[in-house]
Amino acid sequence: MIALRPRALTGLLALPLLAGCGDTDAGAADPTRLADAGYASLGSSDFEGALDDFERALGALEPGAPGFVRAAMGKVEALIHLDAGRARDEFLALAAGYPDAVGTREFKTVGGKLTSEKRFEEAISVLHAGLEAYAEDPGLQAMLDRVAEESERAGDAGALDALRGLGYLGSKP
């Protein structure tokens, strides 16, 4: 049996306490953890909490750094529920700035979520931009057709006018 002196025992007992000392917010500056927390908040419909997490993650990342587009997309998803116009604008800026990272899948995701929130005019803008960039993708046109159907069913005159103005609907009301 090993005999420990009281001083050595005190040091051993303090180790677990010391391991937890320091900055209690150490993970807060980790953009990956912040983005993960943001996506968890999205999943529980805490859109304001998600937005805060994604904005903090983006604040800790340089544009173009690994994880930047993921955090920016999360921010867009949170904004869809809080400020659809801003979500559209930030998504379109992201798509323009990172065309290799933002493709048809992201256009469909954002367009679909805006449509689900009945934010038809914003969805039309996103899907129209997607079709301009990826005209060969039939899924984008199918999504735009869905927006047209749902806009008509909801009686959203502004969305129907936007579709007509872009040439997606005929001229009849």
DSSP code per residue over the chain:
-PPPPHHHHHHHHHHHHHHT-S-TTGGGG-HHHHHHHHHHHHHTT-HHHHHHHHHHHHHTS-TTSTTHHHHHHHHHHHHHHH-HHHHHHHHHHHHHH-TTTS-HHHHHHHHHHHHHTT-HHHHHHHHHHHHHH-TT-HHHHHHHHHHHHHHHHHT-HHHHHHHHHTTSS-S--
* Model pLDDT for residues 118-160, shown as the tens digit of each residue: 999 999 999 999 999 999 899 999 999 999 999 999 999 999 9
* Residue 28, pLDDT above cutoff 70: no
pLDDT of 146: 94
* Model pLDDT for residues 80-133, shown as the tens digit of each residue: 999 999 999 999 999 999 999 999 999 999 999 999 999 999 999 999 999 999
* Residue 26, pLDDT above cutoff 90: no
